[in-house]
Chain A
Amino acid sequence: MDILNALVAFTNFVIVPGTAYGAQLALGALGVTLIYGILRFSNFAHGDTMAFGTMFVVLITAAMKSIGISFGPLPTALLALPFAILCTMALVLITDRAVYRFYRKVKAAPVMLVIVSMGVMFVMNGAVRMIVGTDDRRFADGERFLITARDFKTMTGLSEGLAIRTTQVITVVTAVVVVAALFWFLNKTRTGKSMRAYSDNEDLALLSGINPERVVTVTWLIVAALATIAGTLYGLDKSFKPFIYMQLLLPIFASAIVGGLGSPLGAIAGGFVIAFSEVTLTYAFKKVITYLGPDGWAPDGLVQLLSTDYKFAVSFAILIIVLLFKPTGLFKGKSV
């Protein structure tokens, strides 16, 4: 029986990665939920928008490194991020003007816009692959660990190590800053309030003189920033592979729906619910249980509830359970 070591092992393999992944999903889901709230459709191109934004980061980072710019112990990608956000904003606004605006003007059914976003997804998907190819790219540099497992062991004298990667800390800190800024914007500024008003009741908002095109433009700008940040944090933490970003669509949508589509707070809660369930259910608990059980005893198998290949099944199962019992999500989203 060794509770302390068990706790450290659990923190190291479940809590820390789960928190980082949850923050990434939350940022992705915020983008989906904002589009849903303001433009009223499920944006299938969101995963590829994230890939596009991250691609800009990867390219700008490479350019910066080649002329010798670095960010000391932090990844250079963080310096490249603001520029990449600007590029993504331009891309998203051009897409809106060229594609989506027409359907707003003719007041097309929301499902029409979903199909249109499928077309945008195809185009972005092809474009990203044509520009950077499909290779796995690691673009994180700087200090790899904040605390390595060995440092932790010598510091505490425990036999179990706790490693915290720089990228994980950056993910959580950035997510907190971004979410705080977003909520400040939505709740305190005039534009943010007009966005919420537009999302709650379009007709009433139009009657009170809110300019819908302005609201839509601001929404796209915010979504572009969120998508780029989410994609970059995910890429820093794992690696940049365009294919993976399309697969992220499912957990991101699950997060947004579990939290309640259209509710920013729900998107964050949903992101963490999905991330922690995924990580917990696919973690092999052998080590933790060995520490908790009597001395000299170990469980036979890996004590893994689900193989990691089924992590999509987890987001799906949670989605179904929430839909069955609380169809509008945990935080009462809207239903069209």
Chain B
Amino acid sequence: MSQSHVAQTAPNRAPLYFGMMAVLIIAVGFLQSWNSALFILNMGLISAIMALGVNLQWGFAGLFNVGVMGFVALGGLAVVLISTSPVGEAWQAGGLRVLFGLAIGVATIVGGIVFWAMLRGNKYRALFIAAWLIAGFFIFRAVFDPAVAAIEAVNPAISGNLGGLGLPVLIAWPVGGLFAAGAAWLVAKTALGLRSDYLAIATLGIAEIIIAVLKNEDWLGRGVKNVIGLPRPVPYEIDLQQSEWFIGLMQSIGANPVTASSIFVKLCYAGLFFAVIIILITAMQLALNSPWGRMMRAIRDNEVSSEAMGKNVTGRHLQIFVLGAAICGLAGAMMTTLDGQLTPSSYQPLRFTFLVWVMVIVGGSGNNWGAVLGGLFIWFLWVEVEPIGRFIAEVITSGMADTSALKAVILERTVYVRPLTMGLVLLFVLRFNPRGLLPER
């Protein structure tokens, strides 16, 4: 975090870079298809929101969060729990019992913490707490396990879970943020105030655990059986293709209703995502230019002196960590809504944690517009590097026979050019332009 005074004189390059980004996406529209272009745009916008969350934590508070994947996945879970319809039979089979079991689990942990504090000075404290926790664990399992078995036995082929609340899917977005905020609060309570590396490892761990829960707790979100066909906040293509006004509109501009319907749906999503980004950026810019934001940067740049000025450093860190995670959760809920399905096995740390870090660093940590630009640009690269790599591989292998095993192997493995390129981009930016495309002012 070396400060240079050169940046003061540099012109604001944001409009130029965003213009170039728009040109890139439009070029995809002309060269490949408008569907691909809008796909890149929509996921790019979601990535930009994830990058905003990480940028809040890292760029404005210097907190090292490598558990983005977990918070994103929690957002996805929120979509299932809010928008799918409840499975009445499963609730009867063991819904309340599961909740009761979970309550026992929470009570065990909370009781352990309370007793630990109450029994200070008692020499049997450790023994008592251990006995309490072990007893609580077995009672929890005794209540919880049969209920889970009962729920998962209900129609395992199509449900086997409790379902959700059947509310509109847009409500799931803020709820996803709340879920992630809750998890982040737990992590931050334990690991903040310790060394920065410890927070990193703690977030890495919590992310893996969240994914493990999503994969294995079938009663919650069907686990690896996936939840598909989640409700949408926008119209369905098939409905559009059958509605009079849409067909009429498309005929008047001379477009094919089938392709146009899918583009129209993607445009609706894009509109929603733009609205979210504008709200978020406005709120963040206001907050960061307020006394609160200045305090945050003061803490980041010198914790000791801020503490001496009477600022509660750990408390502020907790606040900003939870906020950043909530933004990641929101993005996760939006992504699951866009996909229309929750597939726990698709959450990979490389894609959902470390790639977001590349976005923040490349875009310019400490600058919200930089995070958005980084999100769009890195997502664009992530998608487009593969066809480019494939093209190069095809040129290289064009002389080989089609039956050649080597050719098949080369073509198959060009997908992995993605992580390689991302790593190189990150390393080059860190080395030659560590403040990113749009540096913090």
**Smallest beta-carbon distance B352→chain A, Å:** 13
Among listed B258-266, B291-299, B312-320, B420-428, interface-contacting one? B420-428
Bound complex: CA A313 to CA B70 (Å): 13
Whether A316 pairs with B350 at a CB distance below 8 angstroms is no
Chain B, Cβ-Cβ closest to A307: B216
Which B177-208 residues have C-beta < 8 A from chain A?
190-191, 194-198, 200-202, 204-206, 208
Indicate whether B164 reaches chain A with its CB closer than 8 angstroms.
no
By a CB distance below 8 angstroms, the chain A residues around B350 are 122, 125, 246
Whether A130 pairs with B417 at a CB distance below 8 angstroms is yes
Indicate whether A133 reaches chain B with its CB closer than 8 angstroms.
yes
Whether B420 pairs with A257 at a CB distance below 8 angstroms is no
Mark each residue of chain A from 121 to 133: 1 if its CB lies under 8 Å from any CB of chain B, else 0.
Answer: 1111111011001
**Smallest beta-carbon distance B383→chain A, Å:** 16
Bound complex: CA A307 to CA B361 (Å): 38
**Smallest beta-carbon distance B36→chain A, Å:** 23
Chain B, Cβ-Cβ closest to A249: B204
Chain A, Cβ-Cβ closest to B353: A118
**Smallest beta-carbon distance B255→chain A, Å:** 40
By a CB distance below 8 angstroms, the chain B residues around A129 are 413, 416, 419
Interface majority SS (helix, strand, loop, mixed), chain A? helix
Bound complex: CA A107 to CA B249 (Å): 63
Indicate whether B212 reaches chain A with its CB closer than 8 angstroms.
yes
Indicate whether A120 reaches chain B with its CB closer than 8 angstroms.
yes
Interface size on B, residues (CB 8 A): 49
Whether B417 pairs with A114 at a CB distance below 8 angstroms is no
By a CB distance below 8 angstroms, the chain B residues around A257 are 197-198, 201
Whether B423 pairs with A111 at a CB distance below 8 angstroms is no
Bound complex: CA A106 to CA B421 (Å): 25
Which A250-301 residues have C-beta < 8 A from chain B?
250, 253-254, 257, 261, 301
Which B386-423 residues have C-beta < 8 A from chain A?
409, 412-414, 416-423
Bound complex: CA A99 to CA B430 (Å): 10
Chain A, Cβ-Cβ closest to B412: A133
**Smallest beta-carbon distance B439→chain A, Å:** 16
Chain B, Cβ-Cβ closest to A113: B430
By a CB distance below 8 angstroms, the chain B residues around A249 are 204
User: Knowing A122-B354, A123-B423 touch, does A102 contact B413 (C-beta < 8 A)?
Assistant: no
Indicate whether A3 reaches chain B with its CB closer than 8 angstroms.
no
Indicate whether B1 reaches chain A with its CB closer than 8 angstroms.
yes
Whether A319 pairs with B202 at a CB distance below 8 angstroms is yes
By a CB distance below 8 angstroms, the chain B residues around A323 are 190-191, 194, 198, 202
User: Knowing A125-B419, A133-B413 touch, does A42 contact B201 (C-beta < 8 A)?
Assistant: yes
Bound complex: CA A291 to CA B187 (Å): 41
Whether A133 pairs with B409 at a CB distance below 8 angstroms is yes
Whether A123 pairs with B190 at a CB distance below 8 angstroms is no
**Smallest beta-carbon distance A193→chain B, Å:** 26
Indicate whether B64 reaches chain A with its CB closer than 8 angstroms.
yes
Indicate whether A324 reaches chain B with its CB closer than 8 angstroms.
yes
Whether A309 pairs with B194 at a CB distance below 8 angstroms is no
Whether A115 pairs with B212 at a CB distance below 8 angstroms is no
Whether B426 pairs with A118 at a CB distance below 8 angstroms is yes
By a CB distance below 8 angstroms, the chain A residues around B413 are 129-130, 133
Bound complex: CA A301 to CA B148 (Å): 14
**Smallest beta-carbon distance A314→chain B, Å:** 10
Whether B64 pairs with A111 at a CB distance below 8 angstroms is yes
Whether B361 pairs with A122 at a CB distance below 8 angstroms is no
Indicate whether B349 reaches chain A with its CB closer than 8 angstroms.
yes
Whether B196 pairs with A310 at a CB distance below 8 angstroms is no
Whether A111 pairs with B196 at a CB distance below 8 angstroms is yes
Interface size on A, residues (CB 8 A): 48
Whether B200 pairs with A313 at a CB distance below 8 angstroms is no
Whether A123 pairs with B200 at a CB distance below 8 angstroms is no
Whether B422 pairs with A250 at a CB distance below 8 angstroms is no
Indicate whether A116 reaches chain B with its CB closer than 8 angstroms.
yes
Whether A126 pairs with B201 at a CB distance below 8 angstroms is no
Mark each residue of chain A from 312 to 325: 1 if its CB lies under 8 Å from any CB of chain B, else 0.
Answer: 11011001100110
Indicate whether B97 reaches chain A with its CB closer than 8 angstroms.
no
**Smallest beta-carbon distance B350→chain A, Å:** 7
By a CB distance below 8 angstroms, the chain B residues around A44 are 66
Whether A127 pairs with B420 at a CB distance below 8 angstroms is yes
User: Knowing A309-B215, A312-B205 touch, does A114 contact B423 (C-beta < 8 A)?
Assistant: no
Which one of A114, A120, A122 has the highest number of Cβ atoms from chain B below 10 Å of its Cβ?
A122
Indicate whether B431 reaches chain A with its CB closer than 8 angstroms.
yes
Indicate whether A119 reaches chain B with its CB closer than 8 angstroms.
yes
Indicate whether B379 reaches chain A with its CB closer than 8 angstroms.
no
Indicate whether B357 reaches chain A with its CB closer than 8 angstroms.
yes
By a CB distance below 8 angstroms, the chain B residues around A130 are 413-414, 416-417, 420
Whether B423 pairs with A120 at a CB distance below 8 angstroms is yes
Chain A, Cβ-Cβ closest to B204: A250
User: Knowing A102-B431, A133-B412, A319-B205 touch, does A122 contact B200 (C-beta < 8 A)?
Assistant: no
Indicate whether B209 reaches chain A with its CB closer than 8 angstroms.
yes
Bound complex: CA A238 to CA B266 (Å): 45
11 further interface pairs, Cβ-Cβ under 8 Å (given A106-B2, A310-B209, A316-B209): A99-B427, A118-B357, A119-B424, A119-B426, A119-B430, A121-B423, A122-B422, A254-B201, A309-B215, A309-B216, A320-B202
- Pairs A–B under 8 Å by Cβ, sample size 18: A42-B201, A111-B64, A114-B64, A115-B361, A122-B354, A122-B420, A124-B423, A126-B422, A129-B413, A130-B414, A130-B416, A133-B413, A250-B201, A250-B208, A257-B198, A257-B201, A320-B191, A323-B191
Binding site for A on B (CB under 8 A): 1-2, 62, 64, 66, 137, 145, 190-191, 194-198, 200-202, 204-206, 208-209, 212, 215-216, 349-350, 354, 357-358, 361, 409, 412-414, 416-424, 426-427, 430-431, 434
Binding site for B on A (CB under 8 A): 42, 44, 99, 102, 106, 109, 111-112, 114-116, 118-127, 129-130, 133, 246-247, 249-250, 253-254, 257, 261, 301, 305, 307, 309-310, 312-313, 315-316, 319-320, 323-324, 327, 335-336
